[in-house]
Amino acid sequence: MKILVFSLLVLSASANNTAFYESFGNSYDGLPEGWSRYEFSDEKPTSYSVAKQNDGGWVLEARSNSSSSIVYKEIKVDLKKYPLLSWRWKIEKALERGNERNKDTEDSPARIYVGITKNKIGLGKVLELLDGKLRFFLERAIAYVWSSRLPKDTVISSPHTDKIKVIVLENSEEKVGEWVYEERNVYEDYKSVFGDKPRSVIGIAIMTDTDNTKDSTTAYYDDIRFFGK
């Protein structure tokens, strides 16, 4: 009984502390509830599905071959209360020519976008016309990337728009094939890259992108969590 009470206390403490959690655990077909696919009309889509791992856990699997598309979920997270974001990800290989600095090589084995607003808009407004075709476009976003060529801690504007800031978290060859845990203070990252204070998160998006380099890879994503200190 003592153990049970203790477990419940731990659970409720972590629930109070957590604004959003996705473990991709209950989806045997397609995507978990609330997640949507966004595909570009003129590009082959990356194949996203929930897949079982050898250890029995379920994760999001992204298979990309000269392809580019997004899965996203609208969420509302007050960044002042819940500034921390963590997740784990894994890639099967880096992309030989992938470099997020340039439009013609702007591919990443793995990317997580956090859509952030200072105003009250919904993620319905985030897919807008850019460069003559539909691109993923948020009012403002941070893209945390597993890059192929850019050094860790590189911060750049997306070559498509300066409303998306790219932060390189990984590019290491030796981590390929291994699960890597990430934790970021999104509130602090936003202040650092945009120079003002964020209000709230409006959505989260995942993109494994190989269309420009005509390369291929598979990436896995899991345990995405927004939480407070």
Residues near Ca ion (CB under 5 A) are 68, 106-107, 209, 211-212
Cβ nearer to Ca ion, comparing 22 with 209: 209
Q: Which residue, 117 or 208, is less far from Ca ion as judged by CB?
A: 208
Q: How far is the CB of 210 from Ca ion (least distance, A)?
A: 7
User: Quick one: 76 exposed, middle or buried, by C-beta within 10 A (0-12, 13-18, 19+)?
Assistant: middle
For Ca ion, the closer CB: 135 or 140: 135
Cβ-contact 227, 84 below 8 angstroms:
yes
* Residue whose pair of structure tokens reads 């896995």 in the numeric block: 220
Q: How far apart are the first and last CA of the chain?
A: 29
Q: How far is the CB of 185 from Ca ion (least distance, A)?
A: 27
Instruction: Report which of 88, 90, 86, 69 is spatially closest to residue 77, judged by C-alpha positions.
Output: 86
Shortest CB 228 distance to Ca ion, Å: 34
Contact in structure between 57 and 187 (CB atoms under 8 Å) = no
Query: CA-to-CA distance for 218 and 62, rounded, in angstroms?
Result: 6
Minimum CB separation from Ca ion for residue 158, in Å? 11
* Inter-CA distances, 35 with 30, 71, 105, 175, 203, Å: 9, 7, 27, 28, 10
CB nearer Ca ion, residue 27 or residue 216? 216
Q: How far is the CB of 105 from Ca ion (least distance, A)?
A: 8
Instruction: Kindly tell me which of 70 and 204 has the beta carbon lying closer to Ca ion.
Output: 70
